[in-house]
A and B are shown apart, each in its own frame.
Chain A
Amino acid sequence: MFDKTQFPAENVAPTAGHSVFRLWWPGVISGVTWATAFSVTALFPNHVRTPAAQSLEACEIMIIIFSGFSVLLGNMSSFSSLAHHGRRIAALGGAVAVWEVMTAKTGWLPLPFFPSPQAILDVYRVDSERLAQSVFHSLLLLIPGFGLGSLTGFLVGVAMGWSPEARYWGHPIIRLLGPLPSIAWLPIALFIFPTITAASVFLIALATAFPVAVLTASGVAIVDSRLYDVGRTLGASEGFLIRTIVIPAALPNVFVGLFMGLGASFIVLIVAEMLGAKAGLGWYLQWAQGWAAYANLYAALAVMSVLFSSVTMVLFAIRRRLLRWNRETVEW
C-alpha cells in the first residue's frame, strides 16, 4: 500500500557520511561586512577631526575573528542560541561601515551632533570610570526607590482589595493623586527631604507605588469569591486565606503593575538626575550636553538602554519563576 520511497529516513540519526562539512553562511556574510567596516575605519584617512579609532578597530577585528570561527562551527547545535543573532550581527557590520563613511571619513553628517562610531566607542576607553560611577549612582537611587515603592504599593493594594474600609479611604487618594506624574512633586520633595538623594528615592518610590497599588487591588478584587468559601470551609484563617489565595491570585496583576512602575521609575530617575543630582546617568547626559560632547551622550544612552533592558529582563525572569502555574506568556 505504502511506497517505501515515500518515507525517507529523515528521523534516523545522521551517520558519519551524512555530517559533511557545511559553511555557515551568516558567518561568511558577517565576516565580509565587518571586514568592510574595518577597511573603511583603518585604511581611509579621516576627513574630520575624530578621536582615535583603536577601540572600534579592536571591536571590528574581534568580530571578524569570531565570524571566521562561526563559519566553521555555526551549524553545531550548541551554537544555536548565538547563531540566532547571526544575520543581525552581519547587518550591524554594514551599518557601521556606512556610518563611518558618512561621519569620520567624509563629514557628510554635521558635527558635533552626529559623531562617528569610532568616536562613540572611544568614550568607553577614555571615560569608562565616570560612566561606571554614573551607573552605580543611578542604581543607588533606582533599587531602593523601586523596592520601597513596590512593597508599599503591594501592601496598600492588598489592603484595598481585601478590606472595604481600606478601599473607602484609599480610593479617593489614588483617584486624585494617581494621575499626577510623580516628577511634578520634585520641587516639594526637594525642600521636604534633606538630600537630593532622599528626594529622588522618594519620587521613584511614588512613581512605582501607584500603578502597583491599583493593579494589586484590582487583582485581589477579581478573585473568585467561591475560592474563599472553599478555603474557609477547609479551616483557613483570614491570614492563611490572604497568604494562599489572595496574593497568588493577584500576582499576575501585581507584575503588570510592577512593569508599569518600573517604566515610570526610569523616567523619574533620569529627570530627577538631570534636574538636581551631581551624579548618575541623567546627570551624565546633562554634563555631556553642556560640553557639546555628543559622542559621550550617545555612549551614555547606549549604557542606559542596556541597563534598563537588563533590569526589565530580571523582573521578567522573576515573574516567569513565580507564575510557573500560569500559561499566559508575554516574553521580553
Chain B
Amino acid sequence: MVRAAQPNTSETKDFPGASVQVRSVSHAFDNDAQVLPVLGNVTFDVPSGETLALLGPSGCGKSTLLRLIAGLEMPKRGEIGVDHVRVVGPDPSRLLVFQDPLLLPWRTVKENVAYGLEAQGIGKEKERVLQALQMVGLSDFAAAYPRELSGGMAQRVALARVLVNRPRVLLLDEPFGKLDSLTRMTMQEELLMLARRHTFTTVLVTHDVEEALLLATRILVFSSRPAEIILDLENNLSFPRFRDDPEFISLRRQSLVALGHGEEFFR
C-alpha cells in the first residue's frame, strides 16, 4: 500500500485491470467556514477486473469518492491506492466518464477521442483512435462535430475518448443517467461486452438498482452523508442475467431495503 509512486510503464495490448484499495477514507468540504463531511471512514477493495457498483442516496458522496480515486482531489484522511501504489494525482490509467458527455465542442469526434493521446504527447495515432471509435460503433462519425450527435452517441464518444488511453481503472459516474431507456439498455450491453473483452476494473456509480445488478459483480450501498458502507453484496449471477430470476429479485430487494425503500409500500 505505502510504496513510492512509480510511473506506469505497462503498455500491454489488452489493458489488464488494476486493483483498487480504499482505506479508511474520510473527506469533507470547507464551505465558508462551515465543514461539510461527505465520506466517513470508507474502506473497501476492488480486485483487478471486477465491476463494482456504488449505490446510495443522492448527495451522499459517491461522485466525490470517484474523484478521489481519479486523483482529482486528495482525501482529508485515509489512503487510496491502485495496485498498491498510492494515488497522488490524476493519471490516464484511471479515467472518469460523467453523466454528461463533456465533449469539447470545437473538436471533431476523432479529435475529441485523440485528446488524451495528444495531451500525453503520444501523438495522434490515427489507428488507435479509429479502433476506439470502432469499439463504440461510431466510425462513420469521426469527422462530425459534437453538436451533430445525439445524447447516446455523444456518450459513446466520451467512452471512446477514455478507452483509447487503455485505462486500467474505469470510473463511471452515472454514465447512462441521462439516456432514454432503450439507449441505456444498449449501452449497458456494450459496456458489459467491453468489460469482458478487456479486463479493466470498473467502478460504476448509479442510482438505478437494476443497472447495478445487471452489470456489477459486487454492490456497495452507502448511507446518506457522510457516506458509510451499509451493505456489501456479492453478485455471482451468471450471464445472461434475467430481471425476473428469483435470485435477482432477492438481491434487488436487499439493496432497496438498504436504501430505505421497499418496506412500507412496495415489495
A contact set with B: CB distance below 8 Å: 224, 226-227, 229-237, 240, 244-245, 248-249, 251, 325-327
Contact = CB atoms under 8 A, between A and B. Distances in A.
Contacts of B71: 233
Interface of chain A, main secondary structure: helix
Contacts of A251: 106
A234 B119 contact: yes
Interface stretch (B21-29, B86-94, B186-194, B247-255): B86-94
Interface of B: 67, 70-72, 90-92, 94-96, 98, 100, 102, 104-107, 115-116, 118-120, 145, 147, 161, 165
Contacts of B90: 232-233, 235
Count chain B CB atoms within 10 A of each CB in A251, A325, A326 and give the residue with the most: A325
Given A233-B72, A325-B105, A325-B145, A226 B100 contact: yes
Given A235-B90, A235-B116, 12 more contacts: A224-B102, A226-B98, A229-B96, A230-B98, A231-B115, A232-B72, A233-B72, A234-B165, A235-B92, A236-B119, A240-B119, A325-B147
Contacts of A240: 118-119
B98 A234 contact: no
Contacts of B72: 229, 232-233
Nearest to A241: B119
A234 B90 CA distance: 8
A322 to B, nearest CB: 9
Count chain B CB atoms within 10 A of each CB in A226, A233, A236, A237 and give the residue with the most: A233
Nearest to A227: B102
Contacts of B102: 224, 226-227, 230
Contacts of A226: 98, 100, 102
Given A234-B119, A235-B116, A244 B105 contact: no
Given A234-B95, A234-B165, A327-B147, A245 B120 contact: no
